[in-house]
Amino acid sequence: MAAIYSGIHVKLKSSRTPWADKLKLARFAWISPQCVLPNKEQVLFDWTSHALTCYYGKKAELPLSVVEGLWAYLDDILHSKKLQKALSQGKALSLRLALAQVGVLFRSEWERLYYYLTSFAF
């Protein structure tokens, strides 16, 4: 069965794969026990963080819907029982410094937008 899902990592990295398909594929890979990727948790986390750091580092242009989808997917990964189980079994998940910096940037952008929008008296 695992042979059916071979090449997922290649499809995620391919510029020919549409972003909507990449997000669906990544979600499927995360939840499916039939999708076998060595170090699956780290691979999918790295793919997501790389896409986000490329977007915020102005190295890639992505539609806002894709960026929102990446953030939602990252949130799903970080709050999943699957990740909690893997961590409790002694697996480690490496966080790139660039992603932490993006998280701070993303938060500050939303805070500025919130402040801007709430400064108007309606």
The answer on pLDDT for 84 being more than 50 is yes
Question: Does the pTM exceed 0.85?
Answer: no
pLDDT of residue 91: 84
First to last CA, the chain: 58
Q: Are 23 and 70 in contact (CB under 8 A)?
A: yes
- Kindly list the distances between the CA atom of residue 60 and the CA atoms of 39, 55, 97, in Å, as whole numbers in the listed order: 26, 5, 19
pLDDT tens for each residue of 87-96: 888 888 787 7
The answer on pLDDT for 105 being more than 80 is no
For residue 76 the two structure tokens come to 């799903």
Which residue type occupies 76?
Answer: D
pLDDT of residue 114: 53
- Going by the DSSP 8-state scheme, the letter that residue 5 receives in this structure is G
For residue 100 the two structure tokens come to 């932490």
